[in-house]
Chain A
Amino acid sequence: DTEVTQTPKHLVMGMTNKKSLKCEQHMGHRAMYWYKQKAKKPPELMFVYSYEKLSINESVPSRFSPECPNSSLLNLHLHALQPEDSALYLCASSHQGGAVQFFGPGTRLTVL
């Protein structure tokens, strides 16, 4: 299984809602990533987990809260988002730092 899955595919939420994005991989990868991608822009790194520990936080606002419950799962908890947070949120995984990153299909988030 060489796939990274993400749910949901689309999400519409109000600014007062709380929601979560989920990511899963079964490739035995020990590094997992969250990226944010705005239209016609490259992906921007948000968080990196290495061996289930938060390794990198790219100064992301606290309304985004990552969680890595186990080596296969990565969540991104969302609360009190702003309309400018609307974007494609991509999850990726890799065997280790510097290895090929495998990306999921993304969650298209719209904040009203």
Chain B
Amino acid sequence: KQEVTQIPAALSVPEGENLVLNCSFTDSAIYNLQWFRQDPGKGLTSLLLIQSSQREQTSGRLNASLDKSSGRSTLYIAASQPGDSATYLCAVSRSGGSNYKLTFGKGTLLTVNP
């Protein structure tokens, strides 16, 4: 059974700092990995999707890396802003069968202080 762990559970940083969020998964047979952002009481917003054959994806100030063999992904946020404050969720889909199902980590609650 796939298990996804995110560290740290919460992170508080001053504005302008670069930061890294971590995600690990137990079964390396993944189809892809997605990073989402969720604001309180809202739906999820997809940030980046990395296919299992890829090493990284970039979008603006965000960079996500994937090391499938070691079961790890990182989300790097450059020059953090107060508007980045949210919960960040990592999710993986399974390969070799139904890849509809996402297994989520519990998330990292990020607070960026002005």
Contacts and interface: CB of A to CB of B under 8 A. Distances in A.
Interface of A: 4, 6, 31, 33, 41-43, 45, 48, 50, 55-56, 88, 90, 92, 94, 97-106, 108
B99 interface: yes
B104 A43 contact: yes
A-B residue pairs, 10 tightest by C-beta: A42-B104, A98-B99, A103-B43, A103-B44, A97-B100, A105-B43, A97-B99, A48-B100, A98-B31, A100-B46
Contact of B107 (A42, A98, A100, A103): A42
Given A41-B106, A100-B46, A88 B41 contact: yes
Given A33-B100, A42-B104, A103-B46, 11 more contacts: A41-B106, A42-B89, A45-B102, A88-B41, A97-B93, A98-B32, A98-B93, A103-B36, A103-B43, A106-B41, A108-B41
Contacts, number: 60
Contacts of B21: none
A42 B44 CA distance: 10
